[in-house]
Structure 1
Amino acid sequence: MKTLYIVRHAKSSWEYEGIEDIDRPLKKRGIKDAHLMSKVLSKLVSRPDVFMSSSANRALHTAVIFCENFEYPLSNLKIRRQLYSFSDGYLVKTVKALDDGFSSAIIFSHDHGINTFVNKFGSKPLAHVPTCGVVGIQFEEKHWKNIKKGKTILTEFPKNHK
């Protein structure tokens, strides 16, 4: 059995001109939400075996906060540029390529790819995963490369904890 937690990066800022999209930072609200949701999640689930993030500043900052609150070593955080994608293609490839030694994983990524992924692979239809929203999906398969339709076991959004 494999368990995947997908986190949409926390709220980012659009206030900086001339900055590339990949470099956009988190807003103060995003930082607060990342601390809130990582603390909530750390009380609900065991620490995932592997933490993996998009290389985008906003996703990476969200992942670092989760690492801190889960006491996961930053040196073990895996950063994947291919997760900086707004389709689910690279997310699916990344999940299916996970090492089978990991029973659970948490991935920090972006809007459209996450929405498509959780609706394709989860059992609970979701219209929209908000910033810093977390969705957990459990798969019966023994190998990540074989995952198909799983069971949505968790949906936690910041607005439900404020």
Structure 2
Amino acid sequence: MLTLLLLRHAKSNWDNPALADYDRPLAKRGRKAAPRMGAEIAALGLRPDIILCSSAARTRETLSLVLPELGSPPPETIYDDAIYMGAPSDMLSSLRGLGPRDPAPQTAMIVGHNPGMEELAEILVGGGDERSLELMDEKFPTCALAVFTFDAKGWADIAPGTGALTRFLTPAQLT
């Protein structure tokens, strides 16, 4: 059984319109939400073995606030430009590329952006917890977390419609 966590970056700051999208930092609200979501991930026992993270500033900052909540040592992290505004197919390819590692990661997390994160979640879902499915169908807000399980031997076997959505959490649910 494999577990995938899809974490959308926390709320970003739009105060400087001259700043490139790639370089936007988190807003105060985002800096507050990210560690709370990290603590919830840890409380649920969902510590990833490996993390694929967009290389954009806001995803890197989100991850830097989540990681201390997950304990030591930190999971292996791969910063991947393909996740920055990447299509779901790009993110799925990155995930499938987790291939042969020793030990093989059983839990992976992707930290990325919309619309790609929401679209990837919609592509992967093949069933799951009804309430989580309803919540995810409404909106995939900043710092939201979708948790999928797959009855697969390796990440290369992950395919559209094969994931069971077990949880969908938003920062608003944690307050």
TM-score range, shorter chain: over 0.9
Check if 1:140 corresponds to 2:143.
no
Q: How much has 1:46 moved relative to structure 2?
A: 3.5
Pairing 1:86-105 to 2, within 5 Å after superposition: 86-100=86-100, 101-105=104-108
> What's the offset of the Cα at 1:43?
0.1
Unpaired segments ≥5 residues, structure 1: none
Runs of 4+ in 1 over 6 A off after TM superposition: none
Cα distance in 1, alignment partners of residues 3 and 120 from structure 2: 14
Q: Superposed, which structure 2 residues align to 1:1-162 within 5 Å?
A: 1-73=1-73, 76-100=76-100, 101-122=104-125, 123=127, 124=133, 126-127=136-137, 128-148=139-159, 149-162=162-175
d(CA) in 2 for partners of 1:38, 1:108: 12
Gaps of 5+ in 2: 128-132
Residue correspondences, number: 162
- SS of the aligned residue for 1:77 comes to strand
Q: Per-residue CA shift, 1:86-112, capped at 9, x if unaligned?
A: 421211111111135111111100011
Report deviation, 1:135. Answer: 0.4
Identity of matched residues, %:
28
- TM-score with structure 1 setting the length: 0.93
Contact 1:5 1:134 in 2 (8 A): yes
8 Å CA contact 2:49–2:75 kept in 1: the answer is no
Does the 8 A contact of 2:48 with 2:75 survive in 1?
Answer: no
Query: Amino acid of the residue matched to residue 53 of structure 1?
Result: C
- Give the structure-2-normalised TM-score: 0.86
Residue type of the alignment partner of 1:153 = T
